[in-house]
Each structure stands twice: as C-alpha cells, then as structure tokens.
C-alpha cells in the first residue's frame, strides 16, 4: 500500500527479458526482476552498464526495445531522482517546489514543501535561487522534489551523489521512514550504505 486508498497487490514492477537499444548500441540485454509493493531493488554495475537507462525505463521516461516491463503506479505516483536536479536554476527552491507541487497535485502543498525544506536543511535558503546552491544543496533540493508528492514508487539514480555526511544521514532516515510504504529502485556505486534496506539486488554487467 503506497498511500491510503492505493493498493498495488502483487508486484509494483515486473520486468522480463527487457532490452534497450539506442540505434545499433544495445544498452540493456535480457534484464528481468520483480519489485513488490514494499520492495527495495538495489541496482549496481560499472559505468555504462545501463543503470540510468533501466531507471528511466522504470520511471516511464523510456520504453523497452524488447521484452516486457509492467510498472503499476501511474506516472503521477512515481518519484524520480536523476543525475540532473530537474529544477530550474533561475528559480528559488520555494518556487521550484511550488511549481512541481501544483503540477503533481500535492494536497496541502505549502505545508508539505515547508516540511521537506526543513527536513533537508534548506529552509533558510528557500528564497535563494537554485543556481546559487552548492552541489550538495542542489541534491537535497532534487530529493525534496522527488519526494514532494509522497510517491508510491521511488526511482533514485545515485541519491547520495554530492551529499555531505549530514545530507547522507538525512537521506538514510528518509529512506528508512518510507521503507514500509513505498517501493524503491535505487542505482548506486556505493551499495554498502543501503544494502541493509534492500530486498533484492540487480547487478548489471
């Protein structure tokens, strides 16, 4: 169960023989896995192994060239963190989250934005433009954006990238708190940190 009234019985993601090609280049070949509604899939692999491509497929931003991929939550119920921050650099943190809050139909938007900015230590910088943020602050803002609509499926690409120890601890706490109510697909080069939370692991070659 992701949020009240949403019951994804069975699997949230079901992948069988997923393949992705860009032109002649095959990025993914024969990938298969399941993610239960309270599952936590840890995706690892060397650079260029297709982790980001797989996450884009799970988020619905790309479609497989071959194979079957079923993602149950509709697109408004997926939280996606990419390598880029997905925020407008010329807008403030508050303006960025307010725009996303409107588009993602977030109930009690202002309260939710305030809570996330407080939680990720950005409240004092909420009126600062994102282009004045450090890499770590930008990552905290990107995480706030991904979590804003309380998603049922979180697809996170290198979520610890750029975070200092305090930021990483905040993210640890956030993941643990959401663990029972959300499905996760997380790609990382540092699997040791979140391995205890993972229910399954996918190693891409």
Contact set with another protein (CB under 8 A): 59-63, 74-78, 80, 82-91, 95, 99-100, 102-105, 129, 145
What residues are paired with 66 via a beta bridge? Answer: 19
Token reading at 165 = 């120890």
Closest distance of CB 100 from another protein, Å: 7
Q: By C-beta, is 162 or 191 nearer to another protein?
A: 162
Q: What is the largest CA-CA distance in the chain?
A: 49
User: Do residues 188 and 158 make contact, with C-beta atoms less than 8 angstroms apart?
Assistant: yes
For residues 19 and 7, give the distance between their C-alpha atoms in angstroms, rounded to a whole number: 29
Q: How far is the CB of 61 from another protein (least distance, A)?
A: 6
We find the least distance from the C-beta atom of residue 203 to another protein, in angstroms, to be 25
* Minimum CB distance to another protein, residue 48 (Å): 19
Closest to 149 in 3D by CA, of 186, 178, 188, 185:
178
Pick 87 or 173: Cβ nearer another protein: 87
The residue count of the chain comes to 205
Of the pair 83, 189, the CB lying nearest another protein is at 83
């Amino acid at each position: 169960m992701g949020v009240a009234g949403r019951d994804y019985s069975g699997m949230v993601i079901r992948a069988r023989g997923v393949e992705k090609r860009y032109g002649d280049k095959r990025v993914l070949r024969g990938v298969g896995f399941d993610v239960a509604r309270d599952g936590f899939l840890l995706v690892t692999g060397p650079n260029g192994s297709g982790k980001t491509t797989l996450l884009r497929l799970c988020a619905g931003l790309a479609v497989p060239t071959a194979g079957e991929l079923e993602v149950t939550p509709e697109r408004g119920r997926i939280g996606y963190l990419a390598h880029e921050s997905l925020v407008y650099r010329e807008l403030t943190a508050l303006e960025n989250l307010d725009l996303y809050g409107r588009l993602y139909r977030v109930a009690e938007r202002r309260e939710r934005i305030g809570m996330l900015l407080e939680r990720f230590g950005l409240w004092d910088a909420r009126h600062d433009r994102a282009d004045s943020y450090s890499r770590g602050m930008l990552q905290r803002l990107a995480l706030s954006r991904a979590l804003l609509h309380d998603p049922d499926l979180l697809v996170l690409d290198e979520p610890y990238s750029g975070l200092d120890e305090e930021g990483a601890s905040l993210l640890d706490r956030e993941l643990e708190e959401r663990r029972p109510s959300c499905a996760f697909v997380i790609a990382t080069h540092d699997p040791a940190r979140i391995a205890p939370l993972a229910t399954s692991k996918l190693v891409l070659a």
